[in-house]
Structure 1
């Protein structure tokens, strides 16, 4: 019996390693060098000098650690158009892209939420009218790629500092029910002295409709006697934005 055990140990101990396994251990995946070069470019020049697909690749490096991320990045952009649209896409549509599973889709939405929080931080506690570009950036980040209409209100104090940012209503692809008296009621509850109305057009075209204009004028008429100013009504679309005040509609 002892002899058999010795023979068995010797048999397995003396077997030479498989040439195929040894070769596989020595050969590094081709994408590792590409990842390192892309990281070096980002470190040296920042994200502004990278194409959308390269920046998306960098995001996917951590989400898909053991695979070439370039095909997934290009497939996402081919499906949705831009990096902003990729990050704004819903989870179910992201998962329809080859190489993007539930975990990756969810992680992309976490990145989106962080970007929106950062954009909101740019206007929190500041005099909003002097930070108008940041307000527009935040509204675009928060709403431009939503699949349904959202009606948002920015509530301001007497110094025009943001005190609350709320989505009051969510509607369909082309309509959101807005109740002017509820808008003013909420402004009074928050002791707001001014508001900015914001909603999105999922169609992409931010042109105000007749209903948008009429609703805004109704809110202004109710707000004015109560000492509440309506600074603007901004409409956000994938292709830009429209300011009713800038268009002299209010």
Structure 2
């Protein structure tokens, strides 16, 4: 099965081919085959004349990525998302947090974290994702530290470590997606990826927060620098 083949666009649902509509794709292939935007589009249902549901889902997903601790008032900034749909989305997010808590979930190997972050593989921009862990390597939180191409400017240790310090994390596991490889392909680290990881490990050593691994996700697979003994 191919995961996260995003078919959403600026088209209205009724103008899309039946086989490309999120609800029909979920019924045929299961929820795991849908991107985050498609899942949100099903919850939203429809957009407005000015902002089709695909755009609303995209805008909402961007907001969620940028602000993990979303408040109901934040949803008012999404054009085409009224109070009723906003309440439905906020209730769904809260229900998910209550029923599927990440805390106390122990990570013993890189593959354990992949199912929890693989949905970032369909993003059109690179997302730098951090998983903070306690002393027992149990998940404290998963957050997006930066959005954009990974380089010295956009991935700063401040954004990576600030939440982990606040959470009293003992270790972190970092990851990022390769947008050009969302349907499979090359996911080996670039020289920039390796350089960023080395810098983060140095900063982590000073702070007393171990950088366990740097994973690259794309399509249906991942590359672990720890498993490949790159560092």
Q: Could you say which TM-score interval applies, normalised by the shorter chain? A: 0.5 to 0.7
Residue 231 of structure 1 corresponds to which residue in structure 2? Answer: 212
Report if aligned partners of 2:187, 2:218 keep a CA contact under 8 Å in 1: yes
Change (3 A) 1:118 1:221: same
Higher relative contact order (Cα pairs below 8 Å, separated by 6+ residues): 2
Change (3 A) 1:131 1:210: closer
5+ residue gaps, structure 2: 3-12, 62-84
Q: Deviations over 1:48-98 (max 9, x none)?
A: xxx99xxxxxxxxxxx9xx9x9x61267799xxx8779622757xx8xxxx
Residue 72 of structure 1 corresponds to which residue in structure 2? Answer: 18
Look up the SS of the partner of 2:113 in the other structure. Answer: helix
Q: Report the aligned-residue RMSD.
A: 4.3
5+ residue gaps, structure 1: 1-50, 53-63, 95-99
Look up the SS of the partner of 1:128 in the other structure. Answer: coil
| C-alpha distance in 2 between matches for 1:121 and 1:211 | 38
Change (3 A) 1:201 1:148: same
TM-score scaled by length of structure 2: 0.57
| C-alpha distance in 1 between matches for 2:103 and 2:36 | 29
Report if aligned partners of 2:132, 2:139 keep a CA contact under 8 Å in 1: yes
Q: Deviations over 1:192-238 (max 9, x none)?
A: 11001011110113221110111101111111133211111111111
Residue 168 of structure 2 corresponds to which residue in structure 1? Answer: 191
Picking from 15, 34, 39, the partner of 1:87 is: 34
Superposed displacement of residue 123, structure 1: 6.8
Look up the SS of the partner of 2:107 in the other structure. Answer: helix
Higher-helix-fraction structure? 1
Moved beyond 3 Å, runs of 4+: 74-78, 82-86, 100-110, 117-123, 130-134
Q: Deviations over 1:9-39 (max 9, x none)?
A: xxxxxxxxxxxxxxxxxxxxxxxxxxxxxxx
Picking from 136, 147, 150, the partner of 1:170 is: 147
**Are 1:159 and 2:106 matched, yes or no?**
no
Report if aligned partners of 1:128, 1:135 keep a CA contact under 8 Å in 2: no
| C-alpha distance in 2 between matches for 1:169 and 1:132 | 21
Q: Deviations over 1:131-168 (max 9, x none)?
A: 75442111102x01011111111111111111122111
Residue 7 of structure 2 corresponds to which residue in structure 1? Answer: none
| C-alpha distance in 1 between matches for 2:111 and 2:96 | 14
Look up the SS of the partner of 2:104 in the other structure. Answer: coil
| C-alpha distance in 2 between matches for 1:212 and 1:197 | 11
Superposed displacement of residue 121, structure 1: 6.5
TM-score scaled by length of structure 1: 0.54
Larger radius of gyration: 1
Residue 197 of structure 2 corresponds to which residue in structure 1? Answer: 216
Report if aligned partners of 2:201, 2:210 keep a CA contact under 8 Å in 1: yes
Report if aligned partners of 1:233, 1:245 keep a CA contact under 8 Å in 2: yes
Look up the SS of the partner of 2:164 in the other structure. Answer: helix
